[in-house]
Amino acid sequence: MTFVIAQGCCSDAACVSACPVDCIRPRPDDPEFMSAEQLYIDPDSCIDCAACMTECPVGAVYDENDMPRDLEVFREINAEYFAENPLEVVEDARTVRRRLSGDRPELRVAVVGSGPSGCYTVDQLSRIPGVRVTLIDRLPTPYGLVRAGVAPDHLATKDTAKVFAKVIRRPNVHCLFNVEVGVHVSIGELLGAHHAVVMATGADEARTLGIPGEELAGVHSARDFVAWYNGHPDHAGRRFDLSGERVVIIGNGNVALDAARLMVTDEHALEATDMARDAVEALRQADVREVVIAARRGVLDAAYTTPELLALTRMPGVELLAESSELGYDADDRRLRRSTTRRKLHVAEAASHTPRQGGKRIILRYNMVPVSLNGSGRVESFTFRRDPTVPDGNAELETLSTGLVLRAIGYRAAPIDGLPLNSETGTIAHRVGRIHHSSPEDPELGLYCVGWAKRGPSGVIGTNQVCAAETVEAVLDDFLGGTLGEPGCSADELAAVIAARQPSIVDHGAWLAIDAAEKRRAADSPTRPREKFVTLAEMLAAAGR
């Protein structure tokens, strides 16, 4: 018997450290870890000890003899990984193992942003004796995209928040939530009270298509849609026109698939999630019958992961369809590995289906180059150029009627006063996590970055483990090397200055009050884990602020 990692894997890698025979891959120090869809257990090496199942924070590990039927395909997926990547034993480098020297007994670091990258950075730092961490977030609630980005029906993935909860309650971690850098405190002031400042601010600015009609009403970023249904306070009161039968989503990463899935999910299933109440009601009344996921490139370039694609094939009452004419590929293409072959087979199966009358459907389209959004005041249709290899003048055009368009084509780090942006990558300019304005060889002393702000919107939650370890190593190297300046005031003195400017600071205890209140609000529901507050006023009232 063996254990199997299935859908929902967050790549946290706690299972890797727990495995006594080192049979889980990829490990955080493996080159492919940053791009892996999930982790895998070698069926030939597993000794059936269940350590991985015990350690998994999201419940994605199963006994092969006790797997849900709809997840049984993951037995093959795990085995196929090792057919391509034979097991080799290497040393685990997931956690920074360092100590401060006797002449540098205390290190103070401010981490800005409490999403996965910020929390993993705090975890790495706060494990080291003599390190004090100030964790800052502009919202009253921590955990970033775990709370406001992960799909509400992926409750197991959201359980990574339980891991982060243990981190932020450590005695050497001081939480300052509802504090905005650049408004309530400057980066310079943070540096004045800490040896280092790590920016874990993510990539919040959605990329645009750059085509005519993009300004029309009814055209939105998928990020806005996701934030709305997840109850992000910046999007409370937003409205999306769900009265039409067809929605078009541009891009085919996991965000696009999440949005499509939730638009056609059974209303009773939505009740078992932590989706914002307004969004549940809006989707309950929606008239959407068809979601078209339009990719600008071919099926081998698809950015979604196999587990997310498989989830679309198992939706009751929803068909997954595709256009068979759009699935061509070169058999010698270097991207055609087992993983892409499996995904292509599922898409090919979708292309073989004959649509049923009256049912809901998700349609995967490929090689659809956006040309224009059309309408008077609000979007009414979307025109595409078929086959990107054909010159514009000779290309076949196709127009789809729609009243709602979502862009899911990537994100960039939003500009932050005083920090340099790399215009090509859409990230903070840095080298190995050290922020620099001009030359990578001349970093800004004490300024670092991590997560999507550092590497762009890529990877899964656990990918931030390795990213955080690299940045923390840079901080420690600089501190122990004596290149970081000494703080001019204490972190407590700075906290008092911030409190004078922002009386409604939410500390760790106040966040726990919000958390408990949301869970109490869902106490009458047998399935709903929490009823989120979606406005700042509600959150602060629950926090007693």
Q: What are phi and psi of 101, to 5 degrees?
A: -80, 165
Same domain, 420 and 449: yes
Same domain, 431 and 354: no
The CATH number for 8's domain is 3.30.70.20
Residue 112, beta-bridge partner list:
136, 199
Distant-in-sequence, close-in-space partners of 407: CB < 8 Å, separation ≥ 6 = 206, 207, 208, 209, 219, 220, 221, 222, 250, 251
The pLDDT, as a whole number, for residue 393 is 65
Omega of the bond leading into 316 within 30 degrees of 0 (cis): no
The pLDDT, as a whole number, for residue 529 is 94
Residue 145 labelled as part of a binding site? yes
Q: Is residue 545 part of a domain?
A: no
Give, for all 545 residues of the chain, the pLDDT tens digit: 789 999 989 998 889 988 878 899 999 888 889 888 899 999 998 988 888 998 898 999 999 988 998 899 999 999 999 998 898 755 444 456 677 877 777 999 999 999 999 999 999 999 999 999 999 999 999 999 999 999 999 988 898 899 899 999 999 999 999 999 999 999 999 999 999 999 999 998 999 999 999 999 999 999 999 999 999 999 998 999 999 999 999 999 999 999 999 999 998 999 999 999 999 999 999 999 999 999 999 888 888 888 899 899 989 999 999 998 888 765 555 555 555 666 666 787 888 877 887 789 999 999 999 999 999 999 999 999 987 676 666 778 999 999 999 999 999 998 888 899 998 899 999 999 999 987 777 788 899 999 999 999 988 888 898 899 999 999 999 999 999 999 999 989 999 999 999 999 999 999 999 999 999 999 999 899 999 999 999 999 999 99
Same domain, 133 and 252: no
3-state secondary structure 142-203: CCCHHHHCCCCCCHHHHCHHHHHHHHHCCCCEEEEECCCECCCECHHHHHHHCCEEEECCCC
Determine the Cα–Cα distance for residues 297 and 252; give it in Å rounded to an integer.
9
Residue 297 labelled as part of a binding site? yes
Q: Is residue 194 part of a domain?
A: yes
The pLDDT, as a whole number, for residue 94 is 47
Same domain, 196 and 271: no
Q: Is residue 236 part of a domain?
A: yes
The pLDDT, as a whole number, for residue 399 is 97
Nearest Cα to Cα of residue 397 among 379, 409, 382, 408: 382
Structure tokens given for 158: 């959201």
Same domain, 176 and 215: no
Residue 254 labelled as part of a binding site? yes
Q: Is residue 9 part of a domain?
A: yes
Determine the Cα–Cα distance for residues 141 and 516; give it in Å rounded to an integer.
12
Same domain, 442 and 339: no
Q: Is residue 517 part of a domain?
A: no
Structure tokens given for 261: 């899935």
Residue 460 labelled as part of a binding site? yes
The CATH number for 303's domain is 3.50.50.60
Q: Is residue 115 part of a domain?
A: yes
Give, in degrees to the nearest 5, the angle at Cα 67 between 64 and 68. Answer: 160
Determine the Cα–Cα distance for residues 191 and 120; give it in Å rounded to an integer.
21
Same domain, 127 and 74: no
The pLDDT, as a whole number, for residue 93 is 43
Residue 472 labelled as part of a binding site? no
Residue 381, beta-bridge partner list:
374, 401
Same domain, 149 and 235: no
Quick check: 46 and 2 in contact, CB under 8 A?
A: yes
Q: Is residue 94 part of a domain?
A: no
Q: How many domains does the chain have?
A: 3
Structural domain of residue 129, as residue ranges?
107-204+412-505
Quick check: 422 and 428 in contact, CB under 8 A?
A: yes
Determine the Cα–Cα distance for residues 306 and 346; give it in Å rounded to an integer.
9
The pLDDT, as a whole number, for residue 95 is 54
pTM: 0.87
Residue 117 labelled as part of a binding site? yes
Residue 296 labelled as part of a binding site? yes
Tell how many helices (H) and how many strands (E) occur in the chain: 19, 24
User: Counting Cβ atoms within 10 Å, is residue 258 exposed (0-12), middle (13-18) or buried (19+)?
Assistant: buried
The CATH number for 137's domain is 3.40.50.720
Same domain, 377 and 232: yes
Same domain, 250 and 393: yes
The pLDDT, as a whole number, for residue 336 is 54
Q: Tell me the residue length of the chain.
A: 545
Give the end of a domain, one of 52, 84, 116: 84
Same domain, 174 and 252: no
Nearest Cα to Cα of residue 61 among 207, 202, 159: 159
Residue 182 labelled as part of a binding site? no
Structure tokens given for 55: 């350690």
DSSP class of residue 7 equals: T
Same domain, 405 and 416: no
Residue 253 labelled as part of a binding site? yes
Determine the Cα–Cα distance for residues 255 and 241; give it in Å rounded to an integer.
19
Residue 181 labelled as part of a binding site? yes
Determine the Cα–Cα distance for residues 170 and 148; give it in Å rounded to an integer.
24
Strand order in the sheet with 434-435: 173-177, 131-137, 107-112, 196-199, 447-449, 434-435, 430-431
Q: Is residue 540 part of a domain?
A: no
Residue 497 labelled as part of a binding site? no
